[in-house]
Amino acid sequence: MISLARSRQPTHKPKLPEGVRIYAISDIHGCAHLLQPMLRVIDADVAHSRPRYAIEVFMGDYIDRGPDTRTTLDMLIERSRRGNAVFLKGNHEAFLVKVFEDPSLFEDWLQIGGAQTLMSYGLASPDLKRDEPASILRDLIRAMPTEHLEFLDNLRLSFTCGDFFFVHAGVRPGVPLAEQTEHDLLWIREEFLRSEARFGKYIVHGHTPVRSAEFQSNRVNIDTGAYATGNLTLMSIQGSSMLAV
């Protein structure tokens, strides 16, 4: 589902602290071929503008659906070694961890793009009449580098800087940001998307695909459905300026 809601810029512009520039990307979904040029854009922009503090925020759903989860995680782990990147958890990462714990969810995982993740690690698309899910998952864990498993285990739920709150899916209206549940932060849709409430911070999120970055008075959605559209959005924020490309 791709939302067609109109964009409305916030009337009271949120701001980052002086000298901070943030680059945000969400919902890569195994599209390493789209991530690579965006990382080059970030590097070129940092070299040109030389912000005092450049922070990269990756907002979850790195895996599934797209063709190359393995390379995507390799690229993000390499990026993490620079020390200025924040990696948030998406519902797809959370669900895969649940599948590892409960193989009865395996078929559900395949329905949301798990087969593409298996194949990116060199495993054949499963035959559910013949293959046992628990066995396939053991093979996947063996095929995944230890650093990939550690990466998935260490993802954060949210990140705050200045007047901005970065999260995968959104927040539940009426609940303080410090009291949000993991389920809402990773899965919420309509209650959040319909809300015109002020959340205490300006919310930067993904999770629900839109045709282009969707600016609202209380939030911005930067999930542009990369695996289906070929469009991975990069958002740059400095001061009160927000630019999506």
pLDDT in tens, 10-25: 557 999 999 999 999 9
130 pLDDT band, cuts 50/70/90, is confident
Could you report the per-residue pLDDT of 93-122, keeping only the tens digit for each?
999 999 999 999 999 999 999 999 999 999
**145 pLDDT higher than 70:** yes
pLDDT number for residue 20: 98
Query: pLDDT at position 77, please?
Result: 98
Residue, of 3 and 236, whose pLDDT is higher: 236
What local confidence, expressed as pLDDT, does residue 2 receive? 40
User: Between residues 129 and 56, which one has the greater pLDDT?
Assistant: 56
Closest by CA to 207, choosing from 225, 231, 230, 180, is 225
For residue 237, the cross-strand partners are 22, 242
H-helix or E-strand containing 71? helix 69-80
pLDDT at residue number 126: 79
- Three-state secondary-structure class, residue 218: coil
